[in-house]
Amino acid sequence: MTVDRMLPTAEAHDLLDLTRELCERELAPKAADFEARGEFPREVIRTIGRSGLLGLPYPEECGGAEQPYEVYLQVLETLAGTWLAMAEAVSVHTLACYPVYAHGSEAQRKMLPDMLGGEMLGAYCLSEPQGGSDAAALQTKATRDEDGHWVVNGTKAWITHGRDADFYNIFARTGGPGARGISCLLADAGTPGLHPQKAERVMGLRSSAPSPIVFDDCRVDADRLVGAEGQGFTIALEALDAGRLGIAACAVGLGQAALDYAVSYAREREQFGRPIADFQGLGFLLADMATQVSAARALLLSAARLKDAGRPFSIEAAKAKLFATDVAMRVTTDAVQVLGGAGYVSDHPVERWFREAKVLQIVEGTNQIQRLVISRSLVRD
């Protein structure tokens, strides 16, 4: 089905057309194979970057496309409907560019054209084995040596692009306990002491499996401190607010793809001499799926328009992430049910989409954390 979109400009319509063409030409023919092999398609990311889709929300002077967030998110949605791992990769990379864009020094910002153009892929190193939701309790430490370099020791977990990134945002403790003791450092791939580990054996998104990263006396130049010392946690939260919208967009795209496939199957599959779509029980299931996906998209775009208008949007981003990812899980589950036994085998993509949907309820802050954020905002004075 074609989604009836209200886009702000003719340029945005052209951008969505370009994205659909890219999906048909470069993503759709490769997705199933790379997922089955669990191989990261680095060249596909370069193609996406060279098409101008890795820097959409960033200003033109930095190498971006200066598009509103509501447009960028609909591009993500379109990518996710074809290959979720690539949409998630774009979302994480956009997140990884934020610290340098918003808080980087003049020298650091000179890297932005390559970051936003697809030549450099980023990783965002915040989560740790003992602390995901409680990010302020991170234990990775960075201390200065006699030459002024930062020496980083610790382990990060669940790092998207961990084995493939060209640059790493490292959130490490440079001061005392709590959020105020955390700083952000920027390290290049190949920095001595930065050791990506074997990729995790994951349920879904196998072509972009995360990996732990061990920092063993990793020496980062003093001029690679991003922002001020002790500002790292603030930088992390700023980036995550926007990142939650990215994950919500991925969820909407995945849900739309599952809905479209289920409808198409229900029209063609016959039982008792009729297409199964004619049976009210299944028709009502499809109606609920369609309503949930549309509601998730509306909530997402409402939050995006607040961000574009320069208004507070973090609580609305939490709502959008919570609702859209729960919808993706329900809709992919129902799509498997529509296909019956056929939905349980890998001959049909709904099996893969069902597995992939689960991770969206976890990344960029679990949905339990989103509920905590929202509930606290309701009772705050």
Contacts of 304 (CB under 8 A, 6+ apart): 68, 69, 70, 73, 245, 313
Question: Which residue is catalytic, options 35, 128, 356, 364?
Answer: 364
Taking alpha carbons only, the member of 45, 12, 40, 53 closest to residue 26 is 45
**Cα torsion 110, 113, 119, 123: sign:** positive
Closest CA to 97 of 54, 138, 51, 61: 54
128 phi/psi in degrees, rounded to 5: -135, 160
CA–CA distance, 256 with 61 (Å, rounded to integer):
34
Clarify whether 119 is annotated catalytic: no
Paired residues of 169 in beta bridges: 124, 186
Helix boundaries (H) for the chain? 10-22, 31-37, 42-50, 69-80, 84-103, 106-109, 112-117, 232-268, 280-308, 314-339, 350-360, 367-379
Tell me which residues are annotated as active site. Answer: 364
